[in-house]
Amino acid sequence: MRSIAENIERITASLPREVKLVAVSKQQPVEYIAAAYEWGQRRFGENKAQELAAKYECLPNDIQWHFIGHLQTNKVKYIAPFVSLIHAVDSLKLLQAIDREAGKQGRIIECLLQFHIAEEESKFGLDEREAREILESPLFKAMRHIRIAGVMGMATYTEEREQVKKEFRHLKEIFERLKRNHFAGDPVFREISMGMSGDYELAVEEGSTLVRIGSSLFGERNYKQTIE
Ligand X SMILES: *Cc1c(COP(=O)(O)O)cnc(C)c1O
| Interface contacts to ligand X, rule CB under 6 A | 24, 26, 47, 68-69, 196-198, 212-216
Q: Which residue lies nearest ligand X, judged by its C-beta? A: 214
What DSSP string runs through the chain? ---HHHHHHHHHHHS-TTPEEEEE-TTS-HHHHHHHHHTT--EEEES-HHHHHHHHHHS-TT-EEEE-S---GGGHHHHTTT--EEEEE--HHHHHHHHHHHHHTT--EEEEEEE--SSS--S--B-HHHHHHHHHSHHHHT--SEEEEEEEE---SSS-HHHHHHHHHHHHHHHHHHHHHH-TT-TT--EEE---TTTHHHHHHTT-SEEEE-HHHH-S--GGG---
Give the residue with the Cβ less far from ligand X, 93 or 157.
Answer: 157
The CB-of-202 to ligand X minimum distance in angstroms stands at 13
The CB-of-96 to ligand X minimum distance in angstroms stands at 22
Give the residue with the Cβ less far from ligand X, 68 or 146.
Answer: 68
The CB-of-95 to ligand X minimum distance in angstroms stands at 18
The CB-of-14 to ligand X minimum distance in angstroms stands at 14
Give the residue with the Cβ less far from ligand X, 150 or 214.
Answer: 214
Give the residue with the Cβ less far from ligand X, 158 or 216.
Answer: 216
